[in-house]
């Protein structure tokens, strides 16, 4: 009986951890099913699409275009950022982590569609945020 009493705090922590993982896993799945697809693509803009992923699910990514904060993008969201035609640099960031800087050229009357997120959605996310903070997130052509 004494051995069991010693493990009670550990058992409580494991139960809370498993309960949280189950709750957020189901919440992510419900969110994926409820997403409405935005097919509008305004001209002279960048359309940024963020999928639903467990890592940073409740957090927003800051969208930086030409070293200026243009807004944030939430999990499962599609955002349009109007910019002038020409060469631009884009990346996203959260805390100390960010994506690599992408250079793109927008022509007059064009829309560039890109996707963003993180490649690390397992136990690696915690470690990789410290090992590769400048490429923890990504912004890619769709």
How many domains does the structure of the chain reveal?
A: 2
At 1 the pLDDT is: 64
Kindly state whether residues 127 and 76 are assigned to the same domain: yes
Q: What is the pLDDT along the chain (142 residues), one digit of tens a residue?
A: 677 788 888 889 999 988 888 888 888 888 878 877 778 889 999 999 998 888 888 889 999 999 999 999 999 899 999 999 999 999 999 989 999 999 999 999 999 999 999 888 777 777 888 888 888 899 998 8
Kindly state whether residues 113 and 131 are assigned to the same domain: yes
- Output the pTM of the full model: 0.77
Residue 81, domain extent: 38-141
Q: CA–CA separation, 89 vs 100, rounded Å?
A: 10
Residue 22 backbone dihedrals phi, psi, to 5 degrees: -65, -45
Q: Which residues pair with 132 in a beta bridge?
A: none
Kindly state whether residues 51 and 120 are assigned to the same domain: yes
Kindly state whether residues 70 and 100 are assigned to the same domain: yes
């Amino acid at each position: 009986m004494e051995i069991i009493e010693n493990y009670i705090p550990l058992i409580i922590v494991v139960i809370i951890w498993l309960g949280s993982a189950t709750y957020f896993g189901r919440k992510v799945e419900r969110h994926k099913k409820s997403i409405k697809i935005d097919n509008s693509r305004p001209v002279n803009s960048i359309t940024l699409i963020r999928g639903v992923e467990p890592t940073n699910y409740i957090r927003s990514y800051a969208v930086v275009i030409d070293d200026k904060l243009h807004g944030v993008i939430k999990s499962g969201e599609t955002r349009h950022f109007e910019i002038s035609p020409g060469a631009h640099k884009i990346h996203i960031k959260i805390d100390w982590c960010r994506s690599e800087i992408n250079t793109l050229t927008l022509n007059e009357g064009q829309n560039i569609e890109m996707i963003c997120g993180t490649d690390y959605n397992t136990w690696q996310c915690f470690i990789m945020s410290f090992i590769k903070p400048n490429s923890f997130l990504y912004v890619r052509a769709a």
